[in-house]
């Protein structure tokens, strides 16, 4: 590339195909495409996942039991065998050595490893080393094929068995790409004052330092710069859109001090937690402003979110507006209706137009199961303003549903609603002013992740449980003997008048995955372990009527044990249920397991959760260990973030270019906060980035319209 031309922008790099590089023929290009590398920009943003410092690598002869290490070795042998009695499960054993000793690598259900790892091949393995029958072993380690590299700091790139690309190939391509770009240099749109403030290296030095560092110090400086760039792009787009909404959308300025809310608090038989009071204060501050509230209320199962939400709805009512609470399922809507009406009791609304100066507070339920006559009555009274608070499912946003004056909207378990559904409910407000929106989730999100995933929302956190809740004991049942004990506990609890859940990953048998299905488990338990108990079955394929009948039977105690899939993850509230058994627990994510555990421990009796199964991966083990170690959802969310990785922060997004390729929302939490601070300063001075065209172009290129739209959850 000739010198003297303008510095290369991300747009320029994105328009240069990777086959412009020497050595990238048709086959190599196909291999790179598997890694979504088609342009020079893709290549330069394909970062090493770790580095091998040849002066500090671990030797097999010096390993310590339980130590997590990276070992370089040569394959001595590889053999696959079928496991007895386990369906089609296989075990592949690979022996490697490094001159100081031998290490056995164990892989479950990965027979292709025998073809991949041939004797004489040099590879890098990363995992937990332990001894088994006197020999060193790693179970399901991460494997990298590094080739014969002699550099002191060797970058190790993410690889795929399909590609045939070695780490040495990628390093060579990176080296040539940077050398070819050097005459023109890399455009750097980040303001110089920001680079100076944080003592950042140039973008060219960052790309060189991340792909071919002379030292680990140089690699760290490069990473810091590139992490900041990624986070700044995301935060700039979030802040820009947040400010745009604030500028362009009129809201309602509520009076947060009123007699109705005072009456509500006076009738409570308990004190608010400090976290509840703090969240109410933050929400009240938003409601008093003449712009729409967009706030996320996140809190663990049982932290008292509903009370905080009801407080916000009552502020709307006391000002002459209506409140709406939208939830994802009819079961949850009905339970919220029961819970909210019980919490409010016979609370009356001050109303000087009535003879007594008061009128009853009207709370109604609106779902597709409400009968036609009742439905017509509720719809008519919503239009005239006689209904104060309506609780329901997506039925609340149907065309025929109109409100007299919708003031506050609460959306529970918001990740289960699409962007369009949330916007439709918001649009039900007055033409002149948008209602205030509070979204709630019981799936805790680390604060830095919330700052990014929900960057358009202000965040309130309920991180205390109300006093008196009995902690749930979590036990990992690893062996057949442990599982027998679990069924003993279930029978004992039922004999004492309690109930239990048994949760399975699949509805029916799958040949692909060796896990217990709900229907097979239901049949087996009826015949064997729990044959003397009353069992019910619930999964996604039963009709709504069957589901409701089964849930009602369980709720009133006509069913002792409910065998189910994760349809019970959210919204099932049976205080008499004291045991949760999760089969093949390693097949579930941490958030799912934590939600399932939260279905018990909701009454006055001690409760327990049993995680049954022997994980096939180290990640599976780590998930179950975390659940046993803590019931703190926020701590579990941090562990989850670590285990799942963070290639993309948008779990529901379409596949495509990832927004975070290097930054870690946990490891780089200080940079998330700093990037947001810088983004606010830039956008407040230059709302549409007209004075920062380079940054605007990178945001458009890297995030794209679809990604940028997805960032705005509401």
Q: Which two tokens stand for residue 156?
A: 């190790």
Segment 423-429 mean pLDDT: 66
Higher pLDDT, 186 or 640: 186
Is pLDDT larger for residue 251 or for residue 578? 578
Residue from 126, 146, 243, 49 nearest 619 by CA? 126
Q: Does residue 575 sit in helix, strand or coil?
A: coil
Give the tens place of pLDDT for each residue, 528-563: 999 999 999 988 777 777 887 888 899 899 999 999
Q: What value does the mean pLDDT take over residues 609-617?
A: 90
Q: Which of 385, 269, 391, 281 is nearest to 330 (CA)?
A: 391
Residue 711 pLDDT: 47
Average pLDDT, stretch 507-534? 80
Whole-angstrom Cα distance, residue 312 to residue 328? Answer: 20
Residue 439, token pair as written in the block: 């979204």
User: Which pLDDT score, from 0 to 100, does residue 168 have?
Assistant: 77
| Beta carbons within 10 angstroms of residue 483's beta carbon | 17
The 3-state DSSP class for residue 293 equals coil
The mean per-residue pLDDT over the stretch 444-448 comes to 68
* 406 three-class SS: strand
Q: Are 510 and 501 in contact (CB under 8 A)?
A: no
Residue 241 has a pLDDT of 84
pLDDT of residue 652: 38
Q: What is the pLDDT of residue 644?
A: 67
Considering only CA atoms, which of 155, 203, 196, 200 is closest in space to residue 182? 203
**Alpha carbons 266 and 685: distance in angstroms, whole number:** 46
Query: Which band of pLDDT confidence, cut at 50, 70 and 90, is reported for residue 635?
Result: confident
Closest by CA position to 452, among listed 198, 286, 675, 642: 675
Over residues 459-510, the pLDDT tens digits come to 888 888 777 677 899 999 999 899 999 999 999 999 999 999 999 987 666 5
Tell me: pLDDT of 41 over 70: yes
pLDDT tens for 221-247 read: 999 999 999 999 989 988 898 888 778
- Exposure class string for 572-590: b at 16+ Cβ within 10 A, else e: bbbebbbbbbbbbbbbbeb
Lowest model confidence (mean pLDDT) among 54-68, 179-193, 415-429, 695-709: 415-429
| H or E element that contains 139 | strand 135-139
Nearest to 127 by CA among 58, 74, 62: 58
In the prediction, which pLDDT does 53 show? 73
Q: According to the model, what pLDDT value does residue 460 have?
A: 87
Q: How far is CA 603 from the centre of its chain?
A: 28
Question: Would the CATH topology of 259-289+303-441 be identical to that of 473-630?
Answer: yes
Question: Residue 601's CB: how many other CB atoms inside 10 A?
Answer: 23
Architecture of the domain made up of 473-630: 3-Layer(aba) Sandwich (3.40)
Place of tokens 């495509």: 656
Can you give the length of the chain in residues?
714
pLDDT at 544: 73
Using the predicted structure, report yes or no on whether residue 417 has a pLDDT greater than 60: no
Q: Which two tokens stand for residue 499?
A: 């109930």
Share above pLDDT 90 across residues of the chain, in percent, rounded to a whole number: 43
Q: What is the pLDDT of residues 301-318, one digit of tens each?
A: 778 889 999 999 999 999
- In this prediction, residue 642 carries a pLDDT of 72
Mean pLDDT rounded to a whole number for the chain: 85
> What's the average model confidence in pLDDT over 47-51?
88
Fold of 259-289+303-441: Rossmann fold (3.40.50)
pLDDT of residue 453: 62
Question: Residue 655: pLDDT band by 50, 70, 90 thresholds?
Answer: very low
At the second CATH level, the architecture of 55-149 is Beta Barrel (2.40)
- What span, in angstroms and rounded, lies between the C-alpha atoms of 530 and 522? 9
What is the Cα–Cα distance from 147 to 584, expressed in whole angstroms?
38
Residue extents of the structural domains in the chain: 10-49+177-214, 55-149, 259-289+303-441, 473-630
| Residue 262 to residues 315, 343, 347, 424, Cα–Cα distance (Å) | 10, 14, 11, 32
Instruction: Give me the percent of the chain exceeding a pLDDT of 70.
Output: 87
CA distance 538 to 560: 13
Is the CA virtual torsion 539, 588, 503, 328 positive or negative? Answer: negative
| pLDDT for the residue numbered 143 | 83
| Per-residue pLDDT at 713 | 44
C-alpha 319/C-alpha 322 separation (Å) is 9
CA-wise closest residue to 318 among 364, 350, 290, 289: 350
Q: What is the DSSP string of 476-529?
A: EE-SHHHHHHHHHHHHHHHHTT-EEEEE-SBSS--SSS---BHHHHHHHHHHTT
- Going by pLDDT thresholds of 50, 70 and 90, the confidence category of residue 116 is confident
Among 166-180, 270-284, 320-334, 357-371, top mean pLDDT goes to 270-284
- pLDDT mean over 692-696: 95
Give the model's pLDDT for residue 542: 79
Tell me: pLDDT of 604 over 70. Answer: yes
Q: How confident is the model at residue 7 (pLDDT cuts 50, 70, 90)?
A: very high
């Amino acid at each position: 590339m000739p010198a003297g031309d303008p510095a290369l922008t991300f747009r320029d790099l994105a328009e240069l195909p990777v086959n412009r590089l020497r050595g990238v023929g048709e086959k190599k290009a196909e291999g790179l495409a598997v890694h979504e590398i088609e342009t020079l920009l893709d290549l330069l943003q394909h970062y090493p996942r770790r580095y091998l410092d040849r002066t500090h690598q671990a030797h097999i002869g010096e390993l310590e039991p339980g130590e997590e290490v990276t070992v370089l070795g040569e394959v001595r042998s590889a053999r696959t065998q079928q496991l007895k009695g386990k369906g089609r499960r296989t075990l592949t054993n690979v022996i490697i050595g490094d001159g100081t000793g031998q290490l056995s690598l164990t892989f479950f259900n990965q027979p292709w490893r025998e073809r991949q790892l041939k004797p004489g091949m040099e590879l890098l393995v990363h995992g937990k080393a332990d001894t088994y029958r006197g020999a060193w072993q790693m179970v399901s380690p991460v494997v990298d094929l590094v080739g014969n590299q002699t550099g002191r700091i060797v970058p190790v790139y993410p690889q795929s068995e399909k590609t045939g690309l070695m780490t040495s190939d990628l390093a060579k391509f990176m080296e040539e790409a940077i050398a070819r770009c050097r005459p023109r240099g890399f455009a750097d749109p980040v303001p110089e004052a920001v680079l100076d403030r944080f003592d950042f290296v140039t973008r060219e030095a960052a790309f060189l330092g991340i792909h071919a560092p002379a030292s680990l110090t140089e690699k760290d400086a490069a990473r810091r710069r590139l992490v900041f760039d990624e986070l700044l792009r995301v935060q700039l787009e979030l802040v820009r859109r947040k400010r745009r909404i604030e500028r362009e959308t009129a809201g309602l300025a509520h009076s947060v001090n009123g007699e109705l809310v005072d009456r509500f608090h006076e009738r409570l038989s308990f004190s608010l937690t400090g976290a509840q009071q703090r969240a109410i204060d933050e929400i009240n501050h938003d409601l008093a402003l003449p712009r729409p509230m967009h706030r996320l209320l996140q809190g663990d199962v049982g932290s008292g979110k509903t009370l905080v939400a009801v407080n916000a709805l009552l502020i709307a009512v006391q000002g002459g507006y209506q409140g709406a609470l939208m939830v994802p399922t009819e079961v949850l809507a009905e339970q919220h209706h029961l819970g909210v009406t019980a919490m409010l009791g016979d609370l009356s609304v001050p109303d000087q137009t009535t003879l007594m100066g008061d009128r009853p507070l009207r709370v109604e339920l609106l779902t597709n199961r409400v009968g036609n006559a009742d439905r017509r009555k509720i719809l008519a009274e919503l239009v005239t303003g006689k209904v104060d608070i309506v609780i329901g499912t997506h039925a609340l946003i149907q065309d025929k549903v109109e409100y007299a004056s919708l003031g506050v909207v609460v959306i529970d378990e918001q990740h289960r609603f699409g962007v369009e559904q949330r916007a439709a409910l918001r649009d039900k407000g007055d033409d002149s002013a948008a209602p205030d929106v509070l979204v709630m989730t019981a799936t805790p999100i680390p604060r830095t992740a919330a700052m990014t995933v929900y960057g358009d929302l202000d965040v309130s956190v309920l991180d205390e449980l109300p006093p008196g809740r009995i902690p749930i004991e979590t036990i990992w049942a690893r062996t057949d003997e442990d599982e027998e004990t679990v069924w003993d506990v279930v029978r004992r609890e039922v004999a004492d008048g309690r109930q239990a859940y048994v949760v399975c990953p699949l509805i029916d048998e799958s040949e692909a995955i060796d896990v217990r299905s709900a229907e097979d488990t239901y049949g087996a338990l009826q015949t064997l372990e729990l044959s003397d108990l009353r069992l019910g079955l619930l999964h996604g394929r039963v009709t709504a009527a069957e589901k409701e009948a089964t849930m009602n039977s369980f709720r009133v105690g006509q069913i002792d044990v409910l065998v189910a899939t994760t349809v019970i993850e959210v919204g099932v509230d049976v205080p008499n249920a004291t045991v949760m058994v999760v089969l093949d627990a390693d097949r579930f994510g941490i958030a799912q397991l934590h939600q399932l555990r939260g279905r018990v421990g909701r009454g006055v009796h001690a409760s327990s959760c049993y995680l049954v199964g022997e994980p096939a991966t180290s990640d599976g083990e780590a998930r179950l260990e975390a659940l046993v170690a803590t019931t703190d959802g926020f701590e579990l969310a941090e562990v989850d973030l670590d285990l799942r990785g963070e290639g993309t922060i948008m779990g529901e997004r379409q596949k495509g270019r990832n927004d975070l390729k290097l930054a870690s929302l946990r490891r780089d939490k200080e940079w998330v906060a700093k990037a947001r601070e810088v983004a606010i300063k830039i956008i407040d001075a230059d709302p549409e980035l007209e004075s920062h065209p380079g940054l605007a172009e990178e945001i458009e290129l890297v995030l794209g319209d679809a990604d940028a739209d997805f960032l705005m959850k509401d």
